[in-house]
Amino acid sequence: MRSHRQRGAIGGASALAGLLCASLLATPASTAAPIQTNTAVTATQSAAGVAAKRPSRPMPYQNPHLPTKKRVKDLLGRMTLAEKVGQMAQAERADVAGDPSQIAELGLGSVLSGGGSTPAENTPEAWADTVDAFQEQALSTRLGIPLLYGVDSVHGHGNLMGATVFPHNIGLGATRDPKLAERIGHITAEETRASGPQWNFSPCVCVARDDRWGRTYESFGEHPKLAAEMSRMIRGLQGHHGQFDRPDRVLATAKHFAGDGFTVFGTGEGDYTVDQGITQASRSEFAELALSPYGSAIKKHDVGSVMPSFSSVDWTEDGLGNPVKMHAHEELVTGWLKQKQGFDGLVISDWRAIHQIPGTYAEQVAASVNAGVDMFMEPFSGDTVGYPQFIETLTAAVEDGTVPMARINDAVARILTAKFELGLFEKPFTDRRNIDDIGSPAHRRVAREAVAKSQVLLKNSRHTLPLSGRDDVYVAGSKADSIGDQAGGWTITWQGNSTHQIPGETILDGIKSAARGEVTHSPDASAPVPAGAHGVVVVGEHPYAEGFGDVGGPRWGYDPGENGVLRPPLTMHLSDADTEAIETVCAAAATCTVLVVSGRPLIIPPQLLRQIDALVASWLPGSEGKGVADVLFGKRGFTGKLPVTWPRSIEQEPINIGDSDYDPLFAYGYGLRTRR
């Protein structure tokens, strides 16, 4: 989900208290929503709830004992056009933080926090207070329809300081462990919902077919079967059918529908080289590589929402040159997804994605709604057109017949169904019973296990690994002691940052804990290598996310992930400093192990590979650097397998298993094993 930088925040508990009292007391008695009474409700909420008048005869939609379909039908029949269109609009936290009353005035259906958009105090309690304050505005409306709050918990609740930060999906793909992905999904859901949000824009079930794409690490790998298997994470996020309303589950999102992982290099929107580009494929190829993981997400795991891609598709058998944006692709969104697959969840647009559809704004809105998109992520994001203009534009389109009322009713019914199934009509406020489990040792142990299982051993000459804990170790490289680099993008901020400090251990910390001999750390390898010491050099990429992570980009301005500092475009090559550190250590140490911390394969020149004794793909392990040390020192054996093909050179991209001229440095599925 494309999101932007951190902006302002609203106040905490004091603002919430005022909103609760004023809003609940103002709720019409005949239509007031049920008051939440579980033990997690704050004292202020309880007092306000007592003051509010309950309806003498609750409406059918307020009856939790009725089937969801009946409740939806009843509520939909009571809604005006304005109330329906409001449910289809989603604002960003920063847009409404200064004036939360917009939520009630416009009848907004949803609010999200984009990457880096957090309360001023980035704590679980402040998050929950913020979400609850917004929720109060939604409950103050005529019908009391609760708000959905969404966030990108793509490798744990990464926006929240102190949350458990798991390896990114490419590392999870290397584990080949769908059950582990389910456990991670469950922990992510628990930590996310305990802090307020009930909706997660994850997982990405895309199939990354070009490693130059800056979102490669969000993919489980290059093979659709692997993506389908690892989509079991959805089951962990949502639970089994009927468990959405539990305090440790969230609504999941399969994204980005479809084909964003193999767009043609150089076709991206604006300044992007791969991201948001055009997928050129036959219908059969597209079905296999782009659509098949979504079939699994729907049929096996009953995913609750789907997010279309920024990208376009161009059917090659129909003749090149007629790409259609996924947000306007009725054949795929309504035809394939909703009708053929029987998807009964809601379709949420990506960040202002409809603005890339050709035509005027009115034409963009109508095209996407008619194509089957149900809710629209329309923050202002520095523009003058946002969610208020969306509401005004869609209302006019319905009134003049451009968008049928039946399409509006279908969209709103899907949105309301999600809210009923999440239990928000009965318990709209944050259930905080699990808030102390956020970032708990038990959760971090699962993350550490995932890190260890994600490590892929690519070379192991002279049985270099595992290392003996008794030996001295010399640690070098730019990524050895950087938890910000380990975590990568979508951590605290959208693009991530090398300087971010989150709870956890770096790889160096892990090595120091595991080694009983002397550990020398010299990032640039300028310190002398002690005689007989074993070298470990940790190299890799700076954090990035979409757009800025494309090889060859960014082509404009600055990288917000580095606080506005210009930096050279990414290349998939090691930096000169990292290369020099490898050469220095490999020439002097008893053995030389190189760990590559990255969101995709990096090019290892032949002459450099010959100097390396052991080579490990460490991916983006997140907060638990001790998981890397677990396999380095033999506490766990290496079991990981490559989720993507490792190329010999950048010129081979795109390279994937099954290519007629397949000649990689390391093949898809490759990975050496060691015993504990």
For residues 669 and 676, what is the distance between their CA atoms, to the nearest angstrom? 21
Which of 518, 540, 539, 543 is CA-nearest to residue 529? 518
For residues 293 and 167, what is the distance between their CA atoms, to the nearest angstrom? 21
Catalytic residue among 83, 275, 350, 374: 350
Q: Which two tokens stand for residue 254?
A: 């399969």
The burial of 110, by beta-carbon neighbours within 10 Å (0-12 exposed, 13-18 middle, 19 or more buried), is given as: buried
Is the four-CA dihedral 205, 210, 211, 215 of positive or negative sign?
negative
Q: Which two tokens stand for residue 457?
A: 């051993």
582 with 527: CB under 8 angstroms?
no
- Number of Cβ within 10 Å of residue 673's Cβ equals 11
Catalytic residue among 177, 546, 550, 624: 546
Q: Which helix (H) or strand (E) holds 306?
A: strand 305-308
Question: In 216-305, where does DSSP find H-type helix?
Answer: 224-230, 233-238, 283-286, 292-299
Query: What is the distance, to the nearest Å, from the Cα of residue 676 to the centroid of all Cα atoms in its chain?
Result: 33
Phi (first) and psi of residue 513, to 5 degrees:
-70, -35
Which of 499, 490, 488 is CA-nearest to residue 451? 488
With the CA atoms of 165, 169, 173 and 178 taken in that order, what torsion angle do they form, in degrees rounded to the nearest 10?
70
Query: 255 pairs with which residues across the strands?
Result: 204, 307
State yes or no: is 350 an active-site residue: yes
- Number of Cβ within 10 Å of residue 181's Cβ equals 26
Q: Which two tokens stand for residue 303?
A: 């995913």
Q: In residues, how long is the chain?
A: 676
Query: 382 pairs with which residues across the strands?
Result: none
3-state secondary structure of 214: coil
What lies within 8 Å, CB to CB, of 261 at 6+ separation is 206, 207, 208, 209, 210, 213, 215, 219, 289, 290
Q: Which two tokens stand for residue 496?
A: 């991530």
What lies within 8 Å, CB to CB, of 447 at 6+ separation is 156, 164, 165, 166, 167, 184, 622, 623, 624, 627
For residues 560 and 307, what is the distance between their CA atoms, to the nearest angstrom? 25
For residues 144 and 232, what is the distance between their CA atoms, to the nearest angstrom? 34
546 with 490: CB under 8 angstroms?
no
Catalytic residue positions, numbered: 350, 546
